[in-house]
Amino acid sequence: MKISMHAFSVDVFTNILGNLSWILEKGANHAAARKFDPALLLASRLAPDMLPLTRQVQIACDQAKNSVARLAAQEPPRFEDTESTFEQLHTRIARTIDYLKSVAPGALEGSETRDIKVPAGGRTLEFKGLPYLQHFAIPNVFFHVTTAYNILRHTGVELGKTDYIGGGRQT
C-alpha cells in the first residue's frame, strides 16, 4: 500500500479505463440487441455543442496517457483520432492501458514538484506536478469517462453505477 504519484495516476486511470471498456461493451451489445447501427450511439451527445461518445472516449484516453507522460517527462505515444467502431475504441483504450502500464513507479518519483506545461488553445497552463494531477488530470479523465457513461445512459443503454465503478466486470 504505497501512496505515490504512480498510485494516483497510473493505477487510477488504468482501472477506470478498464471500466470504460466494459461500459462501451454494454453499449455495443445494446445496439446489437435492438438491431440499430452502433455508429448512431458513437455519434450521440448530450447537447448539440458537446462532443459525441467517440470523442469522449478518445479524450479520456488522451488525458490519461498525456498526463502520465508529462509527469514522467516522457513523450507519449500519439494516436490518430480515426476510430469509427466500438471495436476500434476498445483497441485505443487497450493501447492506452498498455502505455500506462509501461510507466514504472520509479519514472514518477519526484514528479510532484516537476514543472508541467499544458498547451490549452493559444496559451500554456503551468502547474507543479502534484496540483496538476489533483486538480487537472484526475478531474479531466473522470469527466470524459462519466460523460461517456451519461451519453450511453441517456440514450437508453442499461447501465448502473456498479458498471462505472467496475463491479460489473469483476463479478
CB of 91 to its own copies, least distance (A): 23
CA distance 19 to 89: 13
Output 25 or 112, the one with its CB closest to its own copies: 112
- List, in order, residues 6 or more apart from 171 with CB less than 8 Å away: none
CB of 111 to its own copies, least distance (A): 9
Q: Does 22 bind its own copies (CB under 8 A)?
A: no
Q: Does 29 bind its own copies (CB under 8 A)?
A: no
The single residue among 79, 88, 150, 168 that binds its own copies, judged by CB under 8 A, is: 150
Q: Does 5 bind its own copies (CB under 8 A)?
A: yes
Interface residues for its own copies in 42-71 (CB under 8 A)? Answer: 46-47, 50
CA distance 144 to 135: 15
CA distance 160 to 147: 14
CB of 87 to its own copies, least distance (A): 25
CA distance 147 to 31: 19
Element (H, E) at 160: none
CB of 168 to its own copies, least distance (A): 13
Size of the site for its own copies (CB under 8 A): 38
Q: Does 11 bind its own copies (CB under 8 A)?
A: yes
130 and 115 Cβ atoms separated by less than 8 Å: no
